[in-house]
Amino acid sequence: MTISDTGSVSPATRWHLLPAEKVLEQLQSDRQLGLTSEQVAERQRQFGPNELEDTGGRSNWAILLDQFKNIMLIMLIAVAIISGVMDLMDMQAGRVKSNDIPFKDTVAILAIVFLNGLLGYVQESRAEKALAALKNMASPRVRVVRDGRVQEVSAGELVPGDIMLLEAGVQVAADGRLLEEASLQVREAALTGEAQAVSKRVAADLSEDTPLGDRLNCVYQGTDVVQGRGVAIVTQTGMGTELGKIATLLQSVEAEPTPLQQRMDQLSQALVTGSLSLVAVVVVLGLLVAGWGKLRELVEVSLSMAVAVVPEGLPAVITVTLALGTQRMVRRHALIRKLPAVETLGSVTTICSDKTGTLTQNKMVVQGIHQHSCSLSVTGHAYTPEGEFLLNGQPIDTRHHPEAIALLTAGLLCNDAALQKENGDWCILGDPTEGALLVAATKAGLDRHQLSYAWTRLGEFPFTSERKRMSVMVKQEGGGRITDAMGAIAPLLLPSSSLLLFCKGSPELVLERCQFVYVKGTVEPLSGDRRQQILQQNNHLASKGLRVLGFAARPLEALPAEDSAEETEQGLIWLGLVDMLDAPRPEAREAVARCRSAGIRPVMITGDHQLTARAIAEDLGIAQPGDEVLTGPDLEHCTPEELEAHVERVSVYARVAPEHKLKIVQALQRRHHIVAMTGDGVNDAPALKRADIGIAMGITGTDVSKEASDMVLLDDNFATIVSAVEEGRVVYTNIRRFIKYILGSNIGEVITIAASPLFAFGGVPLTPLQILWMNLVTDGLPALALAVEPAEPNVMSRPPHDPKESIFARGLGTYMIRIGVVLSIIAIAQMVVGYHLAQTIPGDPDRWKTMVFTTLCLAQMGHALAIRSNTRLTLELNPFSNPYVLTSVVFTSLLQLALIYVEPLRNFFGTQILSPLELLICLGFSLLLFVWIELEKILSRWQGKGAGVGD
């Protein structure tokens, strides 16, 4: 945004490319005086407050109304209305029996519709709080220069052209271009994903496509100043800031329906279409055969069929199943925020993971030290001060290597970090790089406190972004206990002085100030060949993605002046190189391998340098040597079609910006992948929201990322994602299991009801209320029990199912139809027997309807027992591996008997008392379904193939 004389605005200005003086000129501001009060007032009117705008989401009423747009609920509402009209007509015609309760079917159906709608509302009514979290990040107080004096104002009052004063501990309140800085370091992890604080500088030679994380002369809203001070001119406010752009992305991203939601929509459409088609066939055939005199009976049949086809208990069962899955996942450190995400995890084909803290420990660890005579590798992990130094793979005693001791002593004295133990874990206070050096020295037996006692720091030349090095001046004070360090350092001292300078920093910059090298306890001239060898070694280590520091020393005769760094840091003695790495989590390699075996591709998307990203990815098995790595600038020049081609083969993305992450996720989704995306910063929120599964970090994650996510990792661990995927697969398998159980029974009910007009028995065998009972209780309770069936042994050794597959895929549809047909044949046969029996034995002649009702309910109990496994017979299963199934079968059977023999229930549900003989007939017919399913398993074994339906 450039402010011209006419007040026009150009939002495309690349502020990082302009010199500071040019920025001041274009924004019509003054470095010393700042803006005037009149300028501020005018710009506040022009640009508005420095706040993030909320476009708003759906209201609670809109969410509630959306629930009743489901086609199955609409059909049930229509059934309830027609049933109510028919009851009203019966009341007016005097056809109501004395013990009948008017409108009970209508009330029951509408109650079920309302409860289903309420259940969906509860799932979706979580308000989108991501933008509120963004606003909280953008509301600090800030010191500015206005009217020639320093003032403190609210961040919301900032305008372009304001002069901001920055110091350690403050949060940057708007985007700005640096005018001054002194050792300024800003933590930009929330925007760039970079774990380390960034050293800023005013003069930076940057290109137009420099990524956000490398724009060293700019600061951004929502980031934190961790060291130094600075002065910046505000260039962007409100929605024009980088944070505002993320807010815009977040608001523009629409959450995609999960695979489960898509499959449930597909199921609803199939059931309703099939039901209406069958109703039409039954009504037309009935009218052709029996004439208009049978219209009322045909309407009753149609209403019962419509209720029978809708699995009213299914939404509740699915919700409870997902909720149980979330409880199991919490025990494995994964918190699910949105229930459908549980099932979606089982469909994941690609996991896009950040590097720092998720795949790695977010802890720098020294890997090796390299000197002229030898290179030593260092073992150990994290900040635990335990490990060995290896030479050619064999442990060595560092006391016999004075070069190593001298180098580690330099790293210990040129250091401001502290190592301490909290809650049983070792941690670092201070810079992670210095912490790594401290731990390495401790592994070699050097004691920080003893060395500090033996060597007193008298002064230092601090690290700056221009110098890229730090030096300390120390004086030997005695301390005979430090014999190893004393002996190693002694050759570096002058006979007449005990003062030493230790320097650490960029290897190239430290090396160019060296004239000598420390070799096997002696100081020798640094030849050109040796210098070249050191540079080659440094380049080799850097190419492996390691962070490399160079160390040097120099004896001093007197303490130098504070402003004499350039003169003093000359003629140094080269000590060696130290390489370090943010080490992978110990469990990450196994987790990546489990992903591979499960047919899931892990992808690393990080803001870190491409060499570091490549090294970690290769180490973990995410990428292979020679694999392509895409960077943010590469993605800038990719068309959507080119990116789609890349995403199928690229597993490492480095130096990415927020919009790049979103583009990658979208490209993968266009290639029909189900994507899980991890993130912890504000920059990740749009991609988290767009991904099929957005996964936020519970420890390091921002509120924004958590609110935009579907799942939160409580331990920030990639391995937890894999465990959650396993739970997701178990949940999906169990969902398919009880769907085929419920719908197989429903199809049997529909066919039985549709066939009843073919028999001149008079009336429909099942009322809508009885069908609701079957769908909610006799189907629902065993289905809930089936939802907790334990995982199968091969759950993580098979590829993910096709995310676009139909809910009826892999034999589920044919199973439901086959079992439905068998169940209807059994029920129709029993209906014929029961009708003739009811006519020959004194009593209510409609007892045959109660027998059909009871047979269908008890047959479903046998179905629940048999369906636990597709391959093993029920007798071969351990009943206590899922005791809930047997318990639900017994309990539901007792409830069904209560409907027959408890008078209030009998009157309400319209059943009749059955004799013992009639009850035994019902039990005998119902057992036939159980026998049929067990025979199917035996036949499948005999044919040497799997069961009738795969999971």
Q: Are residues 740 and 672 in the same domain?
A: no
For residue 684, give the CATH number of its domain: 3.40.50.1000
Q: Domain boundary at 538, 562, 583, which?
A: 583
Q: Is residue 165 over pLDDT 70?
A: yes
Q: Is residue 420 over pLDDT 90?
A: no
- The answer to whether residue 9 is domain-embedded is no
For all residues of the chain together, what is the average pLDDT? 82
**Pick from 106-115, 134-143, 216-225, 845-854: least confident:** 134-143
- The answer to whether residue 3 is domain-embedded is no
Residues 744/863, Cβ–Cβ less than 8 Å: yes
Q: Are residues 522 and 442 in the same domain?
A: yes
Tens of pLDDT, residues 804-845: 677 778 888 899 899 999 999 999 999 999 888 887 877 777
- What mean pLDDT comes out for the span 540-561? 88
Tens of pLDDT, residues 557-607: 999 987 788 899 999 999 999 998 877 888 899 999 999 999 999 999 887
Q: Are residues 645 and 501 in the same domain?
A: no
Residues 914/830, Cβ–Cβ less than 8 Å: no
Position with higher pLDDT, 703 vs 574: 574
Q: Are residues 598 and 681 in the same domain?
A: yes
**Pick from 80-94, 424-438, 730-744: least confident:** 80-94
What pLDDT does residue 812 have?
A: 85
User: Residues of the chain with pLDDT > 70: what percent?
Assistant: 85
- What mean pLDDT comes out for the span 44-62? 74
Q: Are residues 780 and 857 in the same domain?
A: yes
Rounded Cα–Cα distance for residues 362 and 582 (Å): 6
pLDDT band at 762 (very low <50, low <70, confident <90, very high): low
Q: What is the DSSP string of 281-308?
A: HHHHHHHHHH-GGGHHHHHHHHHHHHHH
- The answer to whether residue 842 is domain-embedded is yes
For residue 535, give the CATH number of its domain: 3.40.1110.10
Q: Are residues 139 and 248 in the same domain?
A: yes
- What mean pLDDT comes out for the span 930-937? 93
Going 865 to 731 to 327 to 591, the CA torsion angle's sign is positive
Tokens linked to 331: 């025990």
Residue in the block written with tokens 């169990």: 734
Residues 721/591, Cβ–Cβ less than 8 Å: yes
What pLDDT does residue 177 have?
A: 94
Q: Are residues 622 and 699 in the same domain?
A: yes
- The answer to whether residue 951 is domain-embedded is no
For residue 739, give the CATH number of its domain: 1.20.1110.10
Q: Euclidean distance between the first and final Cα of the chain, in Å? A: 57
The secondary structure of residue 393, as a DSSP letter, is: T
What pLDDT does residue 702 have?
A: 63
Q: What's the total number of domains in the chain?
A: 5
Q: Domain boundary at 252, 282, 317, which?
A: 252
Q: Are residues 412 and 342 in the same domain?
A: no
Q: Is residue 878 over pLDDT 60?
A: yes
Domain that holds residue 145: 15-54+132-252
- What mean pLDDT comes out for the span 620-633? 90
- What mean pLDDT comes out for the span 856-878? 90
Of 803, 785, 712, 676, nearest in space to 324 by CA: 785
What pLDDT does residue 863 have?
A: 94
pLDDT band at 947 (very low <50, low <70, confident <90, very high): very low
Residues 495/555, Cβ–Cβ less than 8 Å: no
What pLDDT does residue 669 have?
A: 92
**Pick from 266-280, 616-630, 681-695, 898-912: least confident:** 266-280
Rounded Cα–Cα distance for residues 451 and 160 (Å): 51
Q: For the chain, what is the total number of helices (H) and then of strands (E)?
A: 34, 28
Q: Which long-range contacts (CB under 8 A, 24 or more apart) does 445-453 make?
A: 445/398, 445/399, 445/484, 446/405, 446/408, 446/409, 446/412, 446/484, 446/485, 447/482, 448/412, 448/419, 450/479, 450/481, 450/482, 451/409, 451/412, 451/413, 451/482, 451/485, 452/413, 453/477, 453/479
Across 113-127, 698-712, 844-858, the highest mean pLDDT is recorded for 844-858
What crossing angle do the helices spanning 718-755 and 847-866 adopt, rounded to 10°? 150
Residues 548/507, Cβ–Cβ less than 8 Å: yes
What pLDDT does residue 449 have?
A: 81
Q: Are residues 373 and 512 in the same domain?
A: yes
- What mean pLDDT comes out for the span 181-209? 78
- The answer to whether residue 120 is domain-embedded is no
Q: Which long-range contacts (CB under 8 A, 24 or more apart) does 378-381 make?
A: 378/440, 378/443, 380/439, 380/443, 381/583, 381/586
Tens of pLDDT, residues 487-510: 788 888 888 888 999 999 989 999
Tens of pLDDT, residues 716-757: 888 898 988 888 888 888 888 888 888 888 888 888 888 877
Of 662, 699, 706, 712, nearest in space to 128 by CA: 706
Of 835, 831, 826, nearest in space to 930 by CA: 826
Q: Are residues 770 and 812 in the same domain?
A: yes
Tokens linked to 288: 């052709």
Q: Which strand (E) or helix (H) includes residue 31? A: none
What pLDDT does residue 85 have?
A: 77
Of 820, 668, 798, 650, nearest in space to 733 by CA: 798
pLDDT band at 704 (very low <50, low <70, confident <90, very high): low
Position with higher pLDDT, 122 vs 856: 856
pLDDT band at 146 (very low <50, low <70, confident <90, very high): very high
- The answer to whether residue 10 is domain-embedded is no
Q: Is residue 896 over pLDDT 50?
A: yes
pLDDT band at 205 (very low <50, low <70, confident <90, very high): confident
pLDDT band at 94 (very low <50, low <70, confident <90, very high): low
Q: Which strand (E) or helix (H) includes residue 166? A: strand 163-167
- The answer to whether residue 292 is domain-embedded is yes
Q: Compute, in degrees rounded to 10, the torsion defined by CA atoms 329, 331, 337, 338.
A: 30
Q: Are residues 626 and 680 in the same domain?
A: yes
What pLDDT does residue 478 have?
A: 62
**pTM value?**
0.62
Q: Are residues 557 and 517 in the same domain?
A: yes
Q: Is residue 137 over pLDDT 60?
A: no
Q: Which residues are catalytic?
A: 354
Q: Is residue 472 over pLDDT 60?
A: yes
Rounded Cα–Cα distance for residues 389 and 380 (Å): 10
Position with higher pLDDT, 550 vs 339: 550
Q: Domain boundary at 716, 747, 781, which?
A: 716
- The answer to whether residue 929 is domain-embedded is yes
pLDDT band at 57 (very low <50, low <70, confident <90, very high): low
Q: What is the DSSP string of 546-612?
A: -EEEEEEEEEESSPPPTT-HHHHS-SEEEEEEEEEEEEEPTTHHHHHHHHHHTT-EEEEE-SS-HHH
**What SS3 class is residue 845?**
coil
Of 926, 917, 937, nearest in space to 889 by CA: 926
Going 615 to 621 to 622 to 625, the CA torsion angle's sign is positive
Q: Compute, in degrees rounded to 10, the torsion defined by CA atoms 525, 527, 533, 536.
A: 110
Q: Is residue 368 over pLDDT 90?
A: yes
Q: Is residue 929 over pLDDT 90?
A: yes
pLDDT band at 7 (very low <50, low <70, confident <90, very high): very low
